[in-house]
Amino acid sequence: MTIDEIEPVRTGAVAPPVTAPHVTVGTNETLEDYTLRFAPSTYRRWRPAVVATTALGGIAYLADFAIGGSIGLTYGTANALISILVGVIVIFVTGLPLAYYGARFNTDLDLISRGAGFGYYGSVLTNVIFATFTFIFFALEGSIMAQGLLLGLGIPLWLGYLICTLLIIPIVIFGMAALSKMQIWTTPLWLILMVGPFVYLVITDPSSVGRWIAYAGSQGGTGVSLTAIGLGAGVALSLMAQIGEQVDYLRFMPAKTEENKRAWWTAVIAAGPGWVLLGGLKQAAGVFLAVYIVAEIGAATAVEPVQQFSATFTKIVPGWAAVALAVILVVISQVKINSTNAYSGSLAWTNSFTRVSKHYPRRIVFVFVNLAFALTLMEANMFASLNALLGFYANCAIAWVTTVAADIAINKYLLGISPKEPEFRRAYLYPFNPVGVGSFLLATGVSWAAYFDAFGSDAKSFSPLIALVIALVATPVIALATKGKYYLRRPDLQPEARFTPDGTPTTTTLECGWRSCPCSSPPRRPTRRPT
């Protein structure tokens, strides 16, 4: 299948409305999950609460415990908690515009990025960043599960990495339909195993809270350190791209109406930027558990979630049962999050490849591509360099998400420069929009330079925040400088309203009228090469 079968809009033709480009040629939309266009109302059959539960089920990962434990043992509890709070605030504020747009217009973050400053080909950059996020965190979560299989069943790490990769394939292939059922059925048991140990420890050993608060860390020094907070926040902010996975679910929200608006907004906020509230609590809990067991097993293994929960469960049940419960928790968490990682990664790779190659090889192909990248990282033991990898990655993730959020909140709604309705159709977009691409490259370039000590050690500590500030300022500045010229190629040729007042796409299908179009040029015909 070629891209022209998916987006049949030629330069010089009147583009059909957003509902026209259906993938119908030998394609099962349940498997494709509307990869390259909006999710139609016929497929969005879930209630807001179901969509929110499915989306929040995707953040059941244990990587938060590893991240929190790593920050806490390195910089101390006080610095770690402030770092986590900074991350929570930034991620929530930047994630809200993206979640709203995805839920209201039923598009994923790639399609949003196209019309929010990046252009048709420019958003390929954002897809690559997002796809990288999915396989990095798949590898991180898979490493945690492999550690659990090693502890509980004696399975070697290399084989555990392979098992946790293959386990995800059957679930991810069937997209939202299978994911929603899996997330809902596994959530109650996951909550019991996750929350129970903390309640028990606080009740039976209240002094553990005081030891946790007083812990200084190996590099924390005495008191609060801005340098430590900056470095810790950089690691926490690496999770910023998680909003892309949340939007992949929120695009299946039903239309907002007067009857459901309260449930709709609750679901969007809770499952959109609200994921970071639970994520922040999990990171703080990771600090608590790591401090609780570091004296018993050492700092190297105290950041491993399976060790954290195994040691905690040992206080409640016999040793064999503690190990069993820890392994069950790790496996459930890994399946819940890595099905989301693999699913969202397949969408991102599919969009990127299709635009560059003009060929659509099916989403399922890229499920395997994404898993191959993740398996390679796991076999390379990426868990050992967790802080460095996430701190480096955070710079480009922050630059991307902040640029899109700034374009929606500032350029669209505050300044009115960017069109409010999302536009992702090829015929209406420039290949590259300097607003998003320029802001992203500038923010990423300067923050990476700071990360590699180009501006001194203090600047390195705050390189993620440098990316945030530059993207936030550069996005409206470039939009004002270009007068919004590069958002739409043909703003006067919209044939009809593309969305109803509640945001639902209209359903009229129009034929291409290139013969009578004022900017007409005939469709391109294939030419034969000279022999």
What is the CATH number for 274? 1.10.4160.10
Asked whether residue 512 is assigned to any structural domain, the reply reads no
pLDDT above 90 as % of the chain = 14
Cα 67 vs. chain centroid, distance in angstroms?
Answer: 16
CA dihedral 118, 503, 472, 417 (to 10 degrees): 70
Determine, yes or no, domain membership for 353: yes
Q: What's the pLDDT tens digit per position in 53-104? A: 777 766 777 878 888 888 988 888 899 999 999 999 999 999 999 999 888 8
Q: Write out the residue range of the structural domain in which residue 43 sits.
A: 3-493
Q: How far is CA 379 from CA 139, 271, 331, 374, in A?
A: 9, 32, 19, 9
* CA trace torsion 318, 70, 444, 465 (10° rounding): 110
- Write the DSSP string, 138-185: HHHHHHHHHHHHHHHH---HHHHHHHHHHTTHHHHHTHHHHHHHHHHH
Q: CA 477, 481, 482, 484: dihedral to nearest 10 degrees?
A: 50
E strand or H helix at 102, and its extent?
helix 77-105
User: What values do phi and psi take at 499, rounded to 5?
Assistant: -135, 145
pLDDT over 70 (residue 529): no
The residue-averaged pLDDT of 500-520 equals 53
State CA 370 to chain mean position distance. 14
Q: With 80 as the cut, is the pLDDT of residue 510 above it?
A: no
Average pLDDT taken over every residue of the chain: 77
Cα dihedral sign, 484-489-492-497: negative
Residue 530 counted as domain residue: no
Is 327 a domain residue?
yes
pLDDT band at 131 (very low <50, low <70, confident <90, very high): confident
Cβ atoms of 303 and 292 closer than 8 Å: no
Provide the domain count of the chain.
Answer: 1
Residue 259 burial (CB < 10 Å; 0-12/13-18/19+)? exposed
What is the rounded CA–CA span in Å between residue 55 and residue 260?
19
Task: Please report the pLDDT score of residue 292 as a whole number.
Answer: 87
Asked whether the predicted pLDDT for residue 13 surpasses 80, the reply is no
pLDDT in tens, 217-252: 777 666 788 888 888 888 888 888 888 878 877 877
> Where residue 170 falls among pLDDT bands split at 50, 70, 90?
confident
Q: Please check whether residue 522 lies inside any domain of the structure.
A: no
Distance CA 62, CA 144 (A): 8
Contacts of 213 (CB under 8 A, 6+ apart): 77, 78
Asked, for residue 57, whether it belongs to a domain, the answer is yes
Residue 266 lies in a domain: yes
pLDDT, tens digit, for every residue of 148-168?
Answer: 888 888 889 889 888 888 887
Give a yes or no: residue 524 inside a domain.
no
- Give Cα 87 to chain centroid, integer Å: 15
- Token duo for residue 85: 């709070």
